[in-house]
Structure 1
Amino acid sequence: MATVTTAVGRALAMPAQWRTRLGYFVLLAVLAYLVVLPMIRLQSLAFEDGARGYRAQYTRFDIGETIGTTIALALGSLVIAMVLGTLLAFAASRLPQRFGFLRIIPILPIVMPAVANIVGWAFLLSPGPGYLNVVLRKLPWWSGTDSGPIDVYTVPWIIILTGFGLTSFVYLFVSAGMQNIGAEHLEAAQISGSSTVGVFFRVVLPLLRPSLIYGGGIALLLGLGQFTGPLLLGQNYGVKVLTTEMYRRVSESPSDFAAAAAAGSPLVIFGLVLVLIQKGLLGNQSRFVTHGGKSFAPAGGRSLWATVTIVVYALFALIIPLIGLIIVALTPYWSGSLSWDLLTLDNFRALATDGAIVSSVVTSVSTSLAAVLVCVPLGYLMATLLVRGRQFKIMALLADLITALPLGIPAVIFGVGFLLTYTEPPLILYGTQTVIILVYIVLMLPYATRMQMTAMLSLGNTYSEASATSGASPLVTNLRVMLPLMRPTILSAVALMFILLTHEFAASLLVRASTTQVMGTLLFDLWQNGSYPLVAAMALLMTAVTTAGVGVAMLVGGRNVLNKL
């Protein structure tokens, strides 16, 4: 006890700068243990026994097809997301003033869980009982057939649905760039005789290049790490990508962690390279300080086509899959025929009375909130180090790399890494909520850091320097000046992280136990068991829980919370 007291006394006796340095060192060591150690353990395992894991994975007869499907999924979904996301961002900038509220619509698909969206389209476009296929077969072109004409379980449709899912992320980046394009640029082009299409290609796209590069990089990483669509839809025809190969290797008996690690290695390498390239392209981010008065007006418009574009997107991205879920959730079984006599609320009653389902909802909400409560202060500290820690350059560089890693590495890889790391000493946490919270913290660390860092950059140094000049300590400056100014951004970060975590499926599927389930993993079990009406009801429940969380954030932070995502 005396030794501990002496050590604490020595730490307090240090100069303030050295205490700060020590604090950041301890924090970085903890984060490195959480983020980097699982990756190191996976890769060291893959190279054991003369790289047995690589031999087991990359000597398979179908490995070429698996890699090809992974690349096709990433590139195909990237093209769809970039085209739709950019078009929607431009359309949102040209909306008539009375329809300005429609700008939030392209963000709303993020609120709907990816697993719910995929399941909704499966109920609509399954070749046999899919409801849209049943309608299409009544048309003369496809009459007389018992299946089709669309098969949602094929690679092209998995790519299309994945691209739809990634569109909202591209829209977030591109729309933020659109807000920084002054109306005078567009007006000058129109006065010079350019049409709307000409303005878009000659003025808007060149000015959006940084946003397109960053948004495209994120979409490409997310496309490479896609897991939900290939797992739920690809099983029927044996469609495989590298992420589903990792899951298969771990879930088979006996588990082959070495082969799973080897399967994920290309994704890890590509993710790291892309993150480093992005950082090189962004360079010194302090040049993006924009807080204060602006000398230009944001672009605006009165285009009817913009309203139609966003409404059509909402129809396909939100309304149609929700209709599919609602229909199946209100019927006792999934079939291609509908009747008012079949409609029932029994599936929702089953959800309310099933202890496992209620427990999964509680676990999802509690673990998500716990991870968010930890991530917000962690992200604030990391953002402070990155923005204002010029005297700690080496630590800032390490912090930048550690916080960027989870953004470049698919969640399923972290799931496998945590499963391997925490099923062995010194910390055996498998099957507990603690391991779910830890993996959630790792996955959300980039979002918590980047969003708060952006807010700090936009505020600049004026406020903190004025506070320091007035004699306030760094703690007082952060509590009384910075945090109130950053409140909208922090609440937006909370909303985004809660959305993503209540949707989280890939990593949760690997670290969960039969007694510790979250909503996404329980929905997957129901899907595997063929309990489709319960699957639909569960998907709607997941969407309702997420919507409620966003609603609370908007009540606290105002209507602009979603706009700041």
Structure 2
Amino acid sequence: MTTLTDTDGPGARGPAPQGPPAAPDAPRRSRRLLVPAGAALFIGVLGFLVVMPLIRLQSAAFADGAHGYRIAFGSPGTGKIVGTTIALALGSLVVAMVLGTMLAWVATRMPPRYRILRTLPILPIVIPAIANVTGWAFLLSPRPGYLNVLLRQLPWWSHLESGPVDVYSLPWIVLITGFGLTAFVYLFVSTGLQNISQEHIEAAQVSGSSPVGVFFKVVLPLLRPALIYGGGVALLLGLGQFTVPLLLGTNSGTEVITTAMFRSVSESPVDFGAAAAYGSPLLLFGLAVVIGQKLALGDQTRFVTHGGKAFRSVGGTSKAAVAVMIGYTLVATVLPLAALVVVALSKFWSGTIGLDSFTLANFRTVLNEPGIVDAIVMSVMASLTAVAIVLPVGFVAASMLLRWRRFRTVHALLDFIIALPLGIPAVVFGAGFLLTYTSPPLILYGSRWVIILVYVTLMLPFATRMLLSGMIAQGTAYVEASRVSGAGPLATDARIVLPLLRTSLGGAAALMFVLLTHEFSASMLVRAPTTQVMGTVIFDYWLNGSYPTVAAIALVMTAVTATGVVAAMAAGGGTGVFDKL
């Protein structure tokens, strides 16, 4: 027989009274605390990685009653060093801005069948700076430089025994630095031109403006954000320039702040305080450039020009544009590479080229010398390891910057930490890492990890910004659809966001691999006899006068970089990756 309960049958008295609501279970509370704790840990680790080297630098500079500042700025030659640094930065900025803007404008006038040539001005980014500089030295060294030998065949210079060009002088150091920075300005200005609506051009033409007037009155003002961003990047790179002054300026006594820092930590007695003090003006200059950019731009909505028609050059297409593009590439890229090839195939560097004496002995030396092979392996492995670390870190940072905008303090702090390496020269970070990781609690000097950590720090802003741009371009529709379907944040990122970011990931990997295999400034500060990379080995052979070996290593370095770019392009979806470079 069945017994009726209070809730059974027609005589039931209704549901039993409910007790107070149950408290959230412990796992749910733990999950709620895990996210902010993880975010705090993430930001703390990045802060230690980026900020701690700078703190250690300033601590060293102010130690012993600001001994470092007294040594660095009490020297009578310091004023000249600072003046040379400013002259190099401003001079190379002018060269880069003029050439970069001109080439971007010329690229818009390329006939359709020749538009593949628009990628030529960015080739210097792929070619290592140290390889390019040594190539120019082989061309324009006063006595044995190949171009100087040819110029002395002309009647008006036939009486000279050296020159007429001195690649080791400050004007040529400025010019060669400007060639290297032109590619960055070109990228910014080209993007700016693509975003200008043709409707603005047509309105100016209807109003009676000539092509020159349209360029100066309409195009250039609308390019203001691109010019300011490109100019700011070029100025920061010029202020922190290290490779060209070190390789070319040593012969003529031309010294800038970065080479003074290197001298302070490479000569006996080592003076970390003076090196840190020398780096302080670069910190202030970088901060001033970043603030100046924001003030100069003001309200950026004034420059939004999207319309129904894409930008076209005012003057139409011209084959002269093809000649200009090819001519610049021959001068800025092909000539230095050709000089490297000639010297690498020669038994020794002289002013004459003997085809019958060409040899592959220098390449055999590069591939058989254990120290050089170890440096090549170290450079590739350190770069790949850094890229493998930075990509997930950059993805997490980009996700937080995109999704945590309502937490203004956290957003601003993370954005500041990520952007800091962009405004500070790599040589400053190299000196900071040398100080930070040669003393407790982490003594990493002499290991590959100090190089990897410095590489990770330098690449943080590049990975984060490129992935953030890709995530913004995706919009929110796919993510919202995934979340509505019941997928959690991790599943959505793994199944939706990351596959759609394939091209951005490939572009970021390619760009970082290029920059890291080229990295020379910071590597010179943190290297040890057992932890050399390609750039530092080239410098050692350069000092020893083994110029054919230098040329061979530089060409191997270029080949390694090109291989890495091609591999990243294949992994990231082909030409889309190259467009991001």
Same fold (TM over 0.5): yes
Residues 461 and 411 of structure 1, relative CA distance in 2, 3 Å threshold = same
Which residue in the other structure is 2:578 paired with?
A: 562
1:525-540 to 2 correspondences below 5 Å = 525-540=540-555
User: 1:458 deviation in Å?
Assistant: 2.8
Structure 1 CA distance for aligned equivalents of residues 129 and 323 of structure 2: 25
Structure 2 match to 1:299: 312
| Distance across 1 between alignment mates of 2:38 and 2:200 | 47
Name the residue aligned to 2:153.
Answer: 138
Q: Does residue 1:250 correspond to 2:261, yes or no?
A: no
Q: Report the counterpart of residue 449 of structure 2 in structure 1.
A: 434
Q: CA deviation at 1:525?
A: 0.3
Separation of aligned partners in 1, 2:285 and 2:172: 25
1:413 — aligned with what?
A: 428
Any unmatched runs of 5+ in structure 1?
A: 1-9
- The answer to whether the 8 A contact 2:222-2:303 is kept is no
1:15-414 alignment, distance < 5 Å: 18-278=33-293, 295-299=308-312, 301-414=316-429
| Structure 2 CA distance for aligned equivalents of residues 425 and 308 of structure 1 | 58
Letter in 2 for 1:297: A
Shift in Å, 1:294: 7.8
C-alpha RMSD of the superposition: 2.1
Give the 3 Å change call, closer, same or farther, for CA 187–458 of structure 1 in structure 2: same
Are the counterparts in 1 of residues 110 and 317 from structure 2 also a CA contact under 8 Å? yes
| Matching residue of 2:562 | 547
Q: Deviations over 1:148-187 (max 9, x none)?
A: 0000000010000000000111111111111111233334
CA distance in 1, matches of 2:308, 2:481: 24
Distance of aligned partners of 1:452 and 1:282 in 2 relative to their CA distance in 1, 3 Å threshold: farther
- C-alpha displacement at 1:87, in angstroms? 1.2
1:152–1:233 Cα contact (<8 Å) kept: yes
Q: Which residue of 2 aligns with 1:422?
A: 437
Could you tell me how far apart the structure 2 residues matched to 1:102 and 1:514 are? 42
| Alignment match, 1:7 | none
2:361 and 2:181 mapped to 1: Cα distance? Answer: 34
Distance 2:271 2:341 in 1: 39
Offset of residue 379 of structure 1: 1.1
CA–CA distance in structure 2, aligned partners of residues 11 and 382 of structure 1: 29
* Residue 463 of structure 1, CA deviation: 3.0
Distance 2:106 2:486 in 1: 48
How far residue 472 of structure 1 moved from its aligned partner, in angstroms, is 2.5
Instruction: Indicate the residue corresponding to 1:508 in structure 2.
Output: 523
Task: Give the whole-Å Cα distance in 2 for the aligned partners of 1:366 and 1:218.
Answer: 28
AA partner of residue 498 (structure 1): F
Separation in structure 2 between the aligned mates of residue 460 and residue 273 of structure 1, nearest angstrom: 34
Q: Give secondary structure in 2 for the equivalent of 1:332.
A: coil
Matched letter for residue 144 of structure 1: H
Give the direction of change, closer, same or farther, for the CA distance of 1:466–1:284 in structure 2 (3 Å limit): farther
Distance 1:159 1:539 in 2: 22
**Paired amino acid for 1:97:** P
Contact 2:568 2:577 (C-alpha < 8 Å) held by counterparts? yes
| Cα pair 1:286 1:457 within 8 Å, conserved | no
Relative distance call for 1:190 and 1:231 in structure 2 (3 A) is same
Displacement after TM superposition at 1:558 (Å): 0.7
TM-score for both structures, normalised by structure 1: 0.94
Deviation at 1:299, TM superposition (A): 2.8
The verdict on how the C-alpha distance between 1:458 and 1:551 changes in structure 2, with shifts beyond 3 A counting, is: same
Instruction: Give the whole-Å Cα distance in 2 for the aligned partners of 1:170 and 1:460.
Output: 28
CA distance in structure 1 between the partners assigned to 2:55 and 2:553 by the alignment: 37
Query: Percent same amino acid at aligned positions?
Result: 60
Q: Is there any run of 5+ residues in structure 2 with no aligned partner, and where?
A: 1-24
Which segment drifts farther, 181-190 or 411-420? 181-190
- CA spacing shift, 1:21–1:323, aligned 2, 3 Å: same
Q: Shift of the alpha carbon at 1:486?
A: 2.0
Q: Provide the rounded CA distance (Å) in 2 between the counterparts of 1:209 and 1:16.
A: 47
Return the letter of the residue paired with 2:578.
Answer: L
Give yes or no for contact 1:289–1:457 (8 Å, CA) kept in 2: no
- What SS is found at the alignment partner of 1:236? helix
CA deviation after TM superposition for structure 1 residue 18, in Å: 3.9
1:226 match: secondary structure: coil
Indicate the residue corresponding to 1:461 in structure 2: 476
Letter matched to residue 579 of structure 2:
N
- Please say if 1:471 is aligned against 2:475: no
Decide whether the 8 Å contact of 1:24 with 1:395 is kept in 2: no
TM-score calculated relative to the size of structure 2: 0.91
Residues 69 and 274, structure 2, Cα contact 8 Å, conserved in 1: yes
Contact 1:21/1:392, CA 8 A, preserved across alignment? no
TM-superposed deviation, 1:246: 0.3
Structure number with larger C-alpha Rg: 2
Deviation at 1:287, TM superposition (A): 11
Structure 1 residue 11, shift from structure 2 partner: 9.4
